[in-house]
Amino acid sequence: MKTLYIMRHAKSSWGEPGMDDFDRPLLEKGKKRTRTIIDYLLKKETKIDLILSSPALRALDTAWIMAHGLSLKEEDVRVEKSIYTSDKDKFYDLFYDLPSGIKSLMIIGHNPAVTNLVNDFLQDKIDPMSTSGIACLEYNVKDWTEIAAANSKLKFLIYPKML
């Protein structure tokens, strides 16, 4: 069994004029909403083995908030450049490189890529994910290389405003 958590980064500032998109910081409201998601995940006794994050500041800060809140170690968070500009096919390359010992994976990225990835696994498509939104998909497979062809089960799709 493999579990995939797909999360959009927390609410961020549009920054100062001339600020690079890559460097946009999180708003306090975004940090608070992310902690609301952490509380929800803790109530569900969620266990994450690995977080893969976009290197953009807003995504990476979201990843560190999630890691801290879920008691992950520093080595349980990895930066993957391809997540910043990723189309859904690039995500599959990431999955194929994962050791089978990883049971649950969280990806923290950006729209539209995260929404497209969730929709790639579902028959009933979702609307664009809001900031700090998270989808949990479950696969009855032994290896990450099998998820592209496997049926997924949407365990939940949660946004902070729902909690």
- pLDDT tens, 57-85? 999 999 999 999 999 999 999 999 999 98
* Chain Cα centroid distance, residue 30: 15
What per-residue confidence (pLDDT) applies to 85? 82
pLDDT average, residue stretch 96-101: 93
What per-residue confidence (pLDDT) applies to 38? 99
Over pLDDT 70: what percentage of the chain?
100
55 confidence band (pLDDT: 50, 70, 90): very high
105 confidence band (pLDDT: 50, 70, 90): very high
The whole-chain average pLDDT of the chain stands at 94
Domain spans of the chain, in order of start: 2-162
**Is the pLDDT assigned to residue 15 strictly greater than 90?**
no
Decide: helix, strand or coil at residue 83: helix
Distance set, CA 52 to CA 24, 55, 79, 154 (Å): 19, 9, 6, 20
Separation CA 120–CA 5 (nearest Å): 14
* Chain Cα centroid distance, residue 24: 18
Fold classification of 2-162 (topology level): Rossmann fold (3.40.50)
